[in-house]
């Protein structure tokens, strides 16, 4: 009987140890994706599959969002001719020509809701002051998912540079009230840049400034 009890105890310890090791591996893998992410601007030209893009977009939509408004909207362009037409001009056009897909992260800048503190009032169209923060979080999740899938990407600026976002919005038919935050070319990388060292303890203030 004692042998059985000891055997059960040993098996339990092994299971707990294995579970902890698995959790630690998952945590380490997540941190590896974050720490190894870097900007990739050169691609092979191979296509990014719809399945990969859906995984990437699901990650984007898993981002935190104020009051669960989820103001993000995404325009995904995979057609090579369309990519060339919309993004093929300007000093940054090279990275778009070889990208397998482009995701334009946009934000819905207004929301229909009841005024604060007035539960009986009718819904009104009002500014969504947090769209920018929410969509930035979604864009970062997209970049991390791209890295986790072994692909490459780079955040290229849109908002608030009106001269950049206006022609893109026009060519893609983006409606009024929706603003392109950033444009992310994605593809199979031909380079593997070393992540920049950004750890600077002097930028941290403990307890107070």
This prediction has a pTM of 0.84
pLDDT tens-digit map of 39-60: 999 999 999 999 999 999 999 9
- The number of folded domains in the chain is 1
pLDDT tens-digit map of 121-140: 888 888 999 999 999 999 99
CA–CA separation, 73 vs 76, rounded Å? 10
The band of 10, judged by pLDDT with boundaries at 50, 70 and 90, is very low
Q: Containing domain of residue 147, as a range?
A: 50-187
Quote the pLDDT of residue 119.
Answer: 81
Which tokens is 155 given?
Answer: 């955040």
Residue 19 lies in a domain: no
Residue 60 lies in a domain: yes
Residue 15 lies in a domain: no
Residue 154 lies in a domain: yes
Domain containing 158 — which CATH number?
A: 3.40.109.10
Residue 175 lies in a domain: yes
Alpha carbon distances (Å) from 104 to 14, 119, 169: 48, 35, 10
Residue 20 lies in a domain: no
- Helices 131-148 and 50-61, interaxial angle, to 10°? 140
Rg of the chain, C-alpha, whole Å: 23
């Amino acid at each position: 009987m004692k042998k059985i009890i000891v055997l059960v105890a040993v098996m339990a310890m092994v299971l707990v140890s294995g579970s902890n090791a698995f959790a630690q591996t998952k945590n380490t893998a997540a941190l590896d994706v974050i720490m190894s992410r870097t900007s990739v601007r050169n691609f092979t030209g191979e296509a990014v599959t719809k399945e990969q893009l859906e995984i990437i977009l699901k990650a984007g939509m898993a981002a935190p969002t104020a009051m669960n408004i989820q103001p993000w909207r995404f325009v995904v362009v995979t057609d090579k001719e369309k990519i060339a037409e919309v993004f093929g001009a300007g000093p940054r056009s090279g990275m778009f020509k070889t990208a397998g897909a482009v995701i334009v992260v946009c934000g819905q800048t207004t929301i229909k809701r009841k005024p604060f503190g007035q539960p009986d009032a009718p819904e009104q169209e009002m500014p969504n002051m947090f769209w920018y923060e929410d969509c930035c979080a979604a864009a970062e999740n997209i970049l991390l998912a791209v890295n986790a899938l072994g692909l490459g990407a780079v955040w290229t600026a849109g908002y608030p540079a009106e001269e950049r976002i206006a022609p893109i919005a026009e060519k893609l038919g983006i409606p009024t009230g929706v603003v392109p935050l950033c444009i992310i070319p994605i593809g199979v990388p031909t380079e593997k840049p070393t992540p920049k060292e950004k750890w600077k303890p002097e930028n941290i203030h403990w307890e107070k400034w």
